[in-house]
Chain A
Amino acid sequence: MGLKTSNLTFDERVKKAKQDKFMQAAVGKAQDAQFEKRTRAREELGNWNGWRDLGEQIRQHVIKYLPDYLEEFSANIEKNGGHVYFAKTDVDATNYIKQVAKEKQVKKVVKSKSMVTTEIDLDKELLKLPGLSLMETDLAEFILQEDNWDEPTHIVFPTLHKNRDQVREVFQKIGYTGDNDPEHMGRFARKYLRQYFMEADLGITGCNFAIADNGMINLVTNEGNADLTMALPKTQIVVMGMERIVPSLKEAEVLDNLLCRSAVGQKLTSYCTFSAGKLADELDGPEDFHVVILDNGRSNALNTAFEPILQCIRCGACLNVCPVYRQIGGQGYGSIYPGPMGKVLSPVLDGGYENFGELPYACSLCGACSETCPVKIPLHELILEHRKVEMNKLHLDHSLNNVIFKTISVGTKTPILFKGALLGEHLALKPFSNKKENSVENLYPEGKVDKVPKIAPSLIHGWVDVRDLAEPPKVKENFRHWYDRHQKEKRGEING
């Protein structure tokens, strides 16, 4: 699949996403459920900001000394009897992996979930080898594979956009005859995949963190397929982005705790494993252990304003709070890395704005992503930075934006102007709003603006297709007024 997942334009993708009501409802539900789980897990740990400071510190430190840590890590892999290959590009990486597969005359490959192998389009490359078959064994990835390699929609929940009936249809093609109960379908997949596991001769995994001082790989998962991938086949290849390194087990522990709470609201996922090639006297695990360390555009971030994106631990929390992601889902972005982290990372990996130039603009700069990020990446600032860099690259003028923001800055800093603006806002927007009273609801699909399409249609439509302008509250009103009103609305005492 590669980094770019779609040949449609951004507008076409968004249009398609907006028609997919199941996806929108599923994303909304998932965001809300994850919000509760994540918040609870973080509160229970306590001192969340202290932990985030550690996460940020560890990640910034290893990025600063990346070559030194990678050198230490690779020396330890060699010491343990493993093989390390440094790949500058996706092509280097897939060529090396295909070479190993050929040498070993591999017939059956099992893979556990890994974003980086999707990024380098490894599956498709490997399947070019005659006589080789391959199975994605993570339940979600397995569903996508069997559904004709459908695109993932989330970095932690790749099949968020599919409902149980769609999954059942996919499974029916490979012999499933049961109902649409997720548990029954899960059991079917278990049996189907177990058989394949037992015969596999090559296992491919990603890597959450690589431990520099002992050469181990840390994987954090829930299903157990990654551990089977590391136990059964005689050869294992780990593919890791070059930035996924930590000094020792101790720092991995801190990051695992941040990752599990942020990704799925668990204290630890079911399986958290530190692993390398098997020792001589052990009875299972890979006899032949390879690690491919990949750049593939990551180094474009170094020594630029975008360097902090290399801190990312792929927890997906920023997707789970993003209001834009909520509307357009993962496939709207056209990159395997969607959401706020994807908006920052995709143009960096791609080395420019040709394919992902719209992404930095698909953002309201609300800052919810930066707030939730467990390693404190200033995501919304980096998104804004992309706009600036892109404008400069395209030699576009941002003086109008500068004037607008300058005006806002002066206006909000000067009390008399600010109060004047509040008064004016209520009166100025009143003619455009259908809603007599303000409310906490934020969508007004039946608004007046929608009915005056002649006023700058394309620009306005972008707004009013999903919401109308609300009448701003009167200056005298405060939160308490809104709250009382909302309570009355809920009790049905007044109409909403």
Chain B
Amino acid sequence: MAEVLKANDPKNREDFLDAIAKKANRPRHELKNDPLKLLNDLPETTLADKTPAELLDLAKKNSELIHVDFKTVKADQLAANLTKFIEEKEIKSLMLPSFAADKWADFEILDWKDELELEHLYFWDEANGRDNLINADKSDAAIGFADYLLAESGTITAATVKEQGRGFHFLPTHYLAIVPQSKILPRMRQAIDRYDEALKQDKLKTSNINFISGPSNSGDIEMVLIVGVHGPLDMTYVVIEDR
């Protein structure tokens, strides 16, 4: 292996692409004359006619089907519910995102956060750099904010930001996601549309978008369902009812 293999090398790329075009017997750069137009609008229309109340019901049903503990609470009960979660799961070490105070205040849990007493309280925080991963690994639980909840599949979504990173959702043992009812969408499609637009308009800057449906699981041993293989052992979604 004397020769150095270069990435991002025009010659490497062009040789490869020309060879495919030649084998396919089709000239390159014809795509602009034939952009993809989908045959039907099923992705947009499926479940698109549901009311907010129906979406909430569907989200609950589908989340519970995938072993999620699904709670609906009024905004002023959120703090009490989070405390209950910590007690029930016997959480000693907790990881939280480092969003600014107004986000916590919006959800009426700013005081709750500031008054938390735990053996270890970690924030996914700029100051900790990659050590955030070590802290997340040591955490019994993470309590985070989801961008959307998908009714069809019981899926929460979260784009990686500096306040709430990738490992945040995977390393802690238990996991709770907070999501407002107004952020329940029918299907993955509607969330993708929003992310796609935000990325293209530079309103969202992220390298990673997670769609998470329930706890980690595997059927690799005799197809018996094992819950909690690499990611969290259990998942709780807390939906804040619309005011």
Binding site for B on A (CB under 8 A): 26, 29-30, 33, 45-47, 50-51, 53-54, 57-58, 61, 64-71, 74, 78, 80, 83-86, 88, 92, 95-96, 98-99, 137-140, 143, 157-160, 162-164, 167, 182-183, 185-187, 189-190, 193-194, 197-198, 214, 216, 222-225, 227-228, 230-232, 234, 242, 247-254, 256-257, 264, 266-279, 281-285, 290, 293, 295, 299-300, 302-303
Contacts and interface: CB of A to CB of B under 8 A. Distances in A.
Interface residues of B, number: 90
B165 interface: yes
B187 to A, nearest CB: 8
A250 B211 CA distance: 14
B161 A50 contact: no
Interface in B182-213: 188-189, 192-193, 195-196, 199, 205-213
Contact of A224 (B153, B170, B219): B170
A411 B223 CA distance: 46
A270 B16 contact: no
B174 to A, nearest CB: 14
A225 B230 contact: yes
B214 A270 contact: yes
Contact of B160 (A88, A95, A264, A282): A282
Nearest to A168: B221
A193 B34 CA distance: 47
B25 interface: yes
23 contacts: A50-B42, A67-B17, A71-B17, A85-B7, A96-B5, A139-B221, A222-B218, A227-B166, A230-B208, A231-B167, A249-B195, A268-B153, A270-B215, A273-B208, A279-B206, A282-B166, A282-B206, A282-B208, A283-B126, A283-B165, A284-B166, A285-B208, A295-B19
Nearest to B150: A268
B218 A273 contact: no
Given A54-B39, A285-B160, A303-B23, A225 B229 contact: yes
A127 to B, nearest CB: 16
Contacts of B128: 283
Contact of B167 (A193, A225, A232): A232
Contacts of B207: 80, 275-279, 282, 285
B213 A269 contact: yes
Given A54-B43, A68-B29, A272-B211, A140 B166 contact: no
B80 to A, nearest CB: 29
A139 B137 contact: no
A400 to B, nearest CB: 34
Nearest to A167: B221
Nearest to B28: A67
Interface string B5-29: 1111000110111111101111011
